[in-house]
Chains A and B, each alone.
Chain A
Amino acid sequence: MTPEAIFQRLADSFGAEAVFELHADPAKDKDPWFKVAPAQIEKVCERLRDDPDFACDYLECVTGVDYPSEKKIAVIYHVNSYTLKHRVVLKCYVDREAPALPTVVNVWSTANWQERECFDLLGVLFEGHPDLRRLLLPDDWEGHPLRKDYAEKADYHGIPTTRPNPVELFQLKVPVRDGGLPPAAAAGSAPQTPGKDKEAKAS
């Protein structure tokens, strides 16, 4: 089935308020996609998996995109069918300030880790997820890096997150003890002695 036909079938059975806005401009949308109301995503996915005409048994990818100008985060599902060899792309637009939508772990188990990653990097809450913890970043990390307005902290537990530009360092012919380092190095604690800093803080 083409994505257009899948969209039509879903829109007919779920109604235009649940499945809407097919985007299939060949110049822009190389994989046609449509929007799904966030509250309906689990039911739509269940239908995609169980209906023999769709038979979508493989959730390829769950990811999110931040759109600060629209104050939305798009959660994107790429779904594939092994038997019928068709694909479909669903997008859920959730509010950027309180992003939350139902999980699809009960439909495809692979959503477990992919949703955890999306929560970790974009801060989307998946309601009903069995184990929604940070996955890639440390548990005490602040913020969600893939948001467009994310500002990196200067250090993490005393480890600087920036380094002096090595090109500028090589230009220094004679190392000078005071005032010799470029301002970037002077601002963050000097990279040569992070261990010492840590010890000093620990003691």
Chain B
Amino acid sequence: MSEVIFANEMDEEMTLNMGPHHPSTHGVLRFVVQSDGEIIRKVTPDVGFLHRSIEKIGERNTYPGFMPYTDRVDYVAAMFANESWATACEKLMGVTVPKRAQYLRVISCELNRISSHMIALGATAMDIGAVTPFPWTLREREYINDFVEELCGARLTYNYHRIGGVSFDMPKGWRDKVRRWLDNFDPIMQEFDRLITLNDIFVRRLANVAVITGAEAKDWGLVGPNLRASGVKWDLRKDDGYSVYPELEFDVPVGTGAFGTVGDCWDRFWVRVEECRQSARILRQALDKIDEHPEDDLVGKLPKKLRPDGEAYSRVESARGDMGCYVIGKGAEEPYRVRFRTGSFTSMGIISAKSPGLFLADLVALIATLDVVAPEIDR
């Protein structure tokens, strides 16, 4: 876990090696921390332990054949990497996705967003020292895993989306199950607020810790909930209006600094709690509206040979923010170049800039509330 090296016996400065198997690093990450007692002087993140060169793998596979690999970009929220790859290919090939498939994408993605935030919220609380919320959130995540398993047959690496649509329709009776769960979910979130979000000890622990201002967040390329917690109202679902999101009603929660400063750790936590509620709202509407579109219309019309020539960059709002997929085709069956731009990667960059002066224990809070996931950094 951690080991201490005293650089100079007369000096208080020591070098702490945090990770790669530290419980608070959410995967395999390493930080070399130089600290003066409890106060951090410098943090050097060391990443790459999970690097699989997914971009090189993409160059060796056909366009549809690369889809299962994209699951591994972010295994906590695999649906978004699927969607990102699918939308990039559709944009490149000029494919229109049928409305029903788009609704199924929204439903699967919003379910996945809740389950991903459940991990983020529970793990944050556990890193801070509150163990109870983690099983609570994992219980909800288990329900969602069951739903997604019924939908596509997998609980973690879904491979559900296809270029031009999705692979399966909802099974019979599935919708009512999800609705029943949603009816329970809202009271559970209220209980969760009483348990931890508004808990006085927890609020004091996180408020005013590791404040990231809006300008800093933009400059460092933070995206998604981290950006919104810093007071920047930007959500691709609203501002880019992709898929069927313009037909659905939801709010974009923005950090307010309710207990401290805008952009502190508590704001980042709270924004995720609110996003779960908004996702539940979207799910309810999408489950109703999907009936307006005919069944068995799941995949759009694809060209006979998938050999596009050109380039496209697609953006989707994943659970960790703006996930971009850049694909260049050169008239072959395999793409010439694939690039994934992920939220965790840019979030990692800010840690070394923000951490000097923090307490060592607050570094754990910063990492946890930024919600970095190791495979998404390393790809």
- Can you report 23 residue pairs joining A to B where beta carbons are below 8 Å apart? A29-B310, A57-B218, A60-B315, A60-B322, A61-B324, A61-B326, A63-B339, A65-B337, A78-B326, A82-B232, A82-B234, A108-B219, A108-B221, A109-B220, A109-B221, A110-B346, A135-B47, A135-B48, A137-B48, A138-B48, A146-B53, A146-B55, A146-B337
List the B side residues contacting A82 at CB < 8 Å.
218, 232, 234
Q: A63's contact among B309, B326, B349, B378, by CB below 8 Å, is which? A: B326
Which single member of B221, B324, B378 contacts A136 (CB below 8 Å)? B378
Do A113 and B346 touch (CB < 8 A)?
A: yes
Within 8 Å of chain B (Cβ to Cβ): is A58? yes
Residue of chain A at shortest CB distance from B240: A85
Of residues 49 to 69 in B, which have CB atoms within 8 Å of A's CB atoms?
A: 51, 53, 55-56
> 1/0 per position for A77-107, CB-CB distance to B under 8 A?
0100010010001000000000000000000
The residue on A at minimum CB distance from B50 is A136
Find residues 26-60 in chain A having any chain B CB closer than 8 Å to their own CB: 27-31, 33, 57-60
Is residue A112 contacting chain B, with contact meaning CB distance below 8 A? Answer: yes
CB-nearest residue of chain A to B346:
A110
Q: Which residue of A lies closest to B219 (CB)?
A: A109
B51, B56, B91, B336: which contacts A30 (Cβ < 8 A)? B91
Residues of A within 8 A of B36 (CB): none
- For the complex, is A164 an interface residue (Cβ under 8 Å from B)? no
The answer, among B51, B92, B220, B311, for a CB contact under 8 Å with A110, is: B220
Knowing A60-B324, A61-B324, say if A29 contacts B234 (CB, 8 Å).
no
Whole-angstrom distance from the CB of A150 to the nearest CB of chain B?
Answer: 8
Task: Tell me if B378 and A78 are in contact (CB < 8 A).
Answer: no
Query: CA separation between A135 and B341, bound complex, in Å?
Result: 15
Name the distance in Å between A135's Cβ and chain B's nearest Cβ: 6
- Chain B neighbourhood of A112, CB < 8 A: 349
Q: Which residues of B are in contact with A by a Cβ distance under 8 Å?
A: 47-48, 51, 53, 55-56, 91-92, 218-221, 232, 234, 239, 309-313, 315, 322, 324, 326, 328, 336-337, 339, 341, 345-346, 348-350, 353, 378-379
For B232, the chain A residues whose CB sits under 8 A away are 82
**Shortest beta-carbon distance, B373 to chain A, in Å?**
15
Q: Which of B56, B92, B341 contacts A60 (CB 8 A)?
A: B341
- Report yes or no: B48 in contact with A27, Cβ–Cβ below 8 A: no
A46 to B345, CA, bound (A): 23
Please indicate the chain B residues that have their CB under 8 angstroms from the CB of A135 in the complex.
47-48
> Contacts A60-B322, A61-B341, A78-B324; is A136 near B313 (CB within 8 Å)?
no
Minimum C-beta distance from A79 to chain B (A): 11
> In the assembly, what is the distance between CA of A59 and CA of B222, in Å?
10
- Using Cβ atoms and an 8 Å threshold, which residues of chain B touch A146? 53, 55-56, 337
- Residue in B51, B310, B315, B341 whose beta carbon sits within 8 Å of that of A28 in the complex: B310
Nearest CB in chain B to that of A30: its residue: B312
* Min CB–CB distance B92 → chain A (angstroms): 6
| Contacting pair A29 B346 (CB below 8 A) | no
Is the interface on chain A under 10, 10 to 19, 20 to 34, or 35 or more residues? Answer: 20 to 34
Which residue of the partner chain B has the closest CB to A49? Answer: B219
Residue A145, interface by CB 8 Å: yes
Whole-angstrom CA separation of A78 from B92 in the bound complex: 17
Report yes or no: A136 in contact with B339, Cβ–Cβ below 8 A. no
Whole-angstrom distance between the Cβ of A112 and the nearest chain B Cβ: 6
**What CA separation (Å) do A117 and B377 show in the bound complex?**
11
Within the complex, which residue of A30, A57, A63, A145 is in contact with B92, where a contact is CB–CB below 8 Å?
A30
Could you say which of A25, A27, A78, A109 contacts B313, with CB atoms under 8 Å apart?
A: A78
B-chain residues with CB within 8 Å of residue A109 when the two chains form the complex:
219-221, 349-350, 353
Contacts of A189 in B (CB 8 A): none
CB neighbours of B312 from chain A (8 A): 30-31
Interface positions, chain A 123-161, Cβ under 8 Å from B, are 135-138, 145-146
Given A60-B324, A82-B234, A113-B349, do A136 and B51 touch, yes or no (CB 8 Å)?
yes
Q: Which of B218, B313, B345, B348 contacts A58 (CB 8 A)?
A: B218
A58 adjacent to B56 (CB under 8 Å) = no
Q: Top 7 nearest A-B pairs by Cβ distance?
A: A110-B221, A28-B310, A30-B312, A136-B48, A113-B349, A61-B341, A136-B51
**B89: min CB distance to chain A, Å:** 11
The reply to whether B311 and A31 contact each other, CB–CB distance below 8 Å, is yes
Contacts of B218 in A (CB 8 A): 57-58, 82
Taking CB atoms, residues of chain B closer than 8 Å to A30 are: 91-92, 310-313
- CB-CB nearest in chain B for A87: B313
- When C-beta atoms are compared, the residue in chain A nearest to B233 turns out to be A82
Q: With A and B bound together, what is the CA distance between A136 and B348 in angstroms?
A: 13
- Asked if A162 is at the interface of the complex by the 8 Å CB criterion, the answer is no
Q: Which residues of B contact A108 (CB under 8 A)?
A: 219, 221
Q: Are A27 and B310 in contact (CB under 8 A)?
A: yes
Complex alpha-carbon distance, A30 and B308, angstroms: 12
